[in-house]
Chains A and B, each alone.
Chain A
């Protein structure tokens, strides 16, 4: 048991909550040193509240279900807590039998709302006292719970119609006294230019002011988690590309890092360097899309064209590296798929120079632009406390003044040896979010340049025969290579039994993967903690009481990527 867990245990034993049942709690650290507490279902809310009120953990990072059909209590609710102060993580687990309900955590963390709805949708886990326990991702006519092991991955169910406007009773406290008003219903999306094709915002207007609002998601629910359960570990990588497709390589990195940590392998320095370069270039082009699209939505087309010119140059780099532009799938578990071609790092340096110039140009266009300032300043402002309560991470949290960046807080790869700053804002409004993104792009350029000027020598992947496919010349050239290839393709790589939560700092914030391995060649459960899911949850509250035109600014500044939002 780790020191952290030991102190949590002594704290919990001091707490006034359910001392008589305390003996039933299980405390343990997994093989990869994740701290876990298994809690009886009646105590979970009290434990969560205790941790929150004592300040041990302030973010409910993730909440998800899992299904183990062979167990007497087949369902599990998994809570992941995080502390923005100490950067500690904790996993809490509650086991449930079929039809059993656990108390809702929404009374402790409001952000639990959508996570619990998703767990209900996917597993049929009931949350007693939840204000609005309806389906979240699948359509309203869907029968059954698709992530249960007895639901076939390819059993589709047609949907006959879109839902009419509806509102979420959990936001009813926001509703002003509407008597005597004639509220105008308004539907925005999912096919609307500012909703980027897949988000649906429903509102009731009092003049130009939003009296109440709701959102519907799931229009791009592509069943990532079910697909991951039905594919071998390496074949999941292309699916991860399509989570946040604006910065696809970052998802590859996050997923592979999780599996590698569970396997207990350390990838070579050169692979780490290449992953950092890919990830930081992706961060830059992700911010390009976010800022560009935000500008287009507010009527500034020039910045979009300007930014896309430079985005194309990064695409060129990716194309040189692997042939693909957008969804590169270049990482493999254990390293990279192939080495960089000769001169690629020099090309990156050259491109960085041009991008730096491009960022300056775009800043000149919009940073002091009067219209841009009027449309974004003091719009969508959120306090640091609220942001943490909602589970914000990434640029949006940093725009509120909280300097949380996993590259600094829990450095992975070579980030602790690199010189870069974490830009923060102060008010958390759309303008600060924009400024933070621009500053982050400059820092990313700085990182890329440092790595490119000092690329470590060595191999681009580990050469473990149980993990990495042999080179083609060995497959065709000798019997050992052929056998190795055959065995790895037929059996797949098999991580040890266990579960792991691992996170990286993606362009939108903390991208977490919760992976459960049962020792077979496919994940038993692969949960993604998408950064913009938690952020979007606060959206109805943020726009209520504001102007309709501000909806567009706020939506654009949140950088909602439906691929990771709906998965």
Chain B
């Protein structure tokens, strides 16, 4: 395995350290360096610097404000830089009921986010429509966007939301496969985005 930071220089590893000086070098480097895999260190960076895009539409949005607020403080998990521009965010937190009217907007927002992007569905309504089995409510946002973590509750307590964020962090850290996101296709009933452009 080559050293990714210095591709021309093979990384000294215990297996290739044949001479005594190499062994000394490795021993000495332990005081200032460590070895890891590239994807691990990227995942470590990613999971600790998620920029949330709060898609708060209803009651859950108020609890999301509490999560961001002083007592629960999402900043402790490296996710306090709230961005309302989807292009600057990588964690879409859908907090609240998504209606049929809102669904095209939500998909539009999701598509504008850059990879890698993650979706947390906060609360019963976003996850399944909740107790609104009703004519104008989308029965779960997983019908239109791929969801990584569902947080139950109506609304979930801030602790539950923090647990959801930590679950997502674990998924990122372990590079959990996300077939739902990789195989996602835009729902067939939605018009293409270029038809939404204001004339």
B30 at the interface (CB under 8 A from A): no
In chain B between 97 and 155, which residues have their CB closer than 8 angstroms to a CB of chain A? 97, 99-106, 108-109, 125, 131-139, 154-155
A226 at the interface (CB under 8 A from B): yes
Interchain CB contact under 8 A, A223 and B69: no
**Segment at the B interface, from A9-17, A55-63, A124-132, A193-201:** A193-201
B32 at the interface (CB under 8 A from A): no
* B105, B134, B187, B199: residue with the most chain A Cβ atoms closer than 10 Å: B134
Count of chain B residues near A, Cβ 8 A: 47
Interchain CB contact under 8 A, A151 and B57: no
Residue of A nearest to B157 (CB): A325
- Distance in angstroms from B189 CB to nearest chain A CB is 5
Interchain CB contact under 8 A, B104 and A220: no
Do A223 and B57 form a contact, CB below 8 Å, given A160-B189, A191-B84, A309-B71?
Answer: no
Interchain CB contact under 8 A, A289 and B62: yes
Contact count A vs B, C-beta below 8 Å: 156
* B106, B125, B189: residue with the most chain A Cβ atoms closer than 10 Å: B189
Do A197 and B136 form a contact, CB below 8 Å, given A221-B101, A245-B62?
Answer: no
Residue of B nearest to A292 (CB): B65
Residue of A nearest to B125 (CB): A222
A326 at the interface (CB under 8 A from B): yes
Interchain CB contact under 8 A, B196 and A309: no
Partner of A198, one of B57, B134, B135, B190: B57
Partner of A159, one of B65, B97, B101, B157: B101
**Residues of chain B contacted by A192 (CB below 8 angstroms):** 84
**Residues of chain A contacted by B185 (CB below 8 angstroms):** none
Interchain CB contact under 8 A, B97 and A312: no
Query: CA of A226 to CA of B65 in the docked complex: distance in angstroms?
Result: 29
B21 at the interface (CB under 8 A from A): no
Partner of B96, one of A197, A223, A312: A197
Partner of B135, one of A220, A226, A562: A226
Query: CA of A213 to CA of B129 in the docked complex: distance in angstroms?
Result: 32
Do A327 and B190 form a contact, CB below 8 Å, given A152-B135, A185-B198?
Answer: no
Interchain CB contact under 8 A, A153 and B133: yes
**Residues of chain B contacted by A238 (CB below 8 angstroms):** 131
B164 at the interface (CB under 8 A from A): no
Interchain CB contact under 8 A, B134 and A326: no
- Distance in angstroms from A148 CB to nearest chain B CB is 11
A300 at the interface (CB under 8 A from B): no
**Residues of chain A contacted by B125 (CB below 8 angstroms):** 222
Interchain CB contact under 8 A, B195 and A161: yes
B52 at the interface (CB under 8 A from A): no
Interchain CB contact under 8 A, B196 and A308: no
A246 at the interface (CB under 8 A from B): yes
B55 at the interface (CB under 8 A from A): yes
Q: Is the interface of A mostly helix, strand, loop or mixed?
A: loop
A218 at the interface (CB under 8 A from B): yes
Query: CA of A124 to CA of B137 in the docked complex: distance in angstroms?
Result: 20
Interchain CB contact under 8 A, B196 and A191: no
* A146, A185, A192, A193: residue with the most chain B Cβ atoms closer than 10 Å: A193
Interchain CB contact under 8 A, B137 and A156: yes
Residue of B nearest to A160 (CB): B191
Query: CA of A392 to CA of B136 in the docked complex: distance in angstroms?
Result: 28
**Residues of chain A contacted by B179 (CB below 8 angstroms):** none
A486 at the interface (CB under 8 A from B): no
Interchain CB contact under 8 A, A138 and B136: yes
In chain A between 160 and 191, which residues have their CB closer than 8 angstroms to a CB of chain B? 160-162, 164-165, 185, 187, 190-191
Query: CA of A223 to CA of B138 in the docked complex: distance in angstroms?
Result: 12
Query: CA of A191 to CA of B94 in the docked complex: distance in angstroms?
Result: 11
**Residues of chain B contacted by A349 (CB below 8 angstroms):** none
* B84, B97, B138: residue with the most chain A Cβ atoms closer than 10 Å: B97
**Residues of chain B contacted by A220 (CB below 8 angstroms):** 57-58, 96-97, 99, 102
Interchain CB contact under 8 A, A138 and B134: no
Interchain CB contact under 8 A, A327 and B55: no
Partner of A308, one of B70, B101, B195: B70
Interchain CB contact under 8 A, B69 and A198: no
Interchain CB contact under 8 A, A159 and B133: no
* B99, B132, B189: residue with the most chain A Cβ atoms closer than 10 Å: B99
Partner of B65, one of A142, A222, A223, A308: A308
B63 at the interface (CB under 8 A from A): yes
A157 at the interface (CB under 8 A from B): yes
Query: CA of A139 to CA of B63 in the docked complex: distance in angstroms?
Result: 27
A563 at the interface (CB under 8 A from B): yes
Query: CA of A223 to CA of B129 in the docked complex: distance in angstroms?
Result: 12
- Distance in angstroms from B56 CB to nearest chain A CB is 5
B66 at the interface (CB under 8 A from A): yes
Query: CA of A304 to CA of B70 in the docked complex: distance in angstroms?
Result: 10
Interchain CB contact under 8 A, B57 and A562: yes
Interchain CB contact under 8 A, B135 and A326: no
B contact set with A: CB distance below 8 Å: 55-59, 61-63, 65-66, 69-71, 84, 96-97, 99-106, 108-109, 125, 131-139, 154-155, 157, 187, 189-191, 195-196, 198-199
Q: What are 19 A-B residue pairs whose CB atoms fall within 8 Å in the complex? A: A139-B99, A139-B136, A146-B136, A151-B135, A156-B138, A158-B100, A158-B103, A158-B189, A160-B190, A162-B105, A218-B99, A219-B57, A220-B96, A221-B99, A223-B136, A242-B58, A245-B62, A325-B66, A325-B157
The 4 closest A-B pairs by CB, nearest first: A223-B134, A245-B59, A139-B101, A308-B69
Besides A156-B135, A219-B105, A304-B69, 7 more A-B contacts (Cβ < 8 Å) are A161-B104, A164-B198, A190-B105, A222-B134, A238-B131, A242-B59, A308-B65
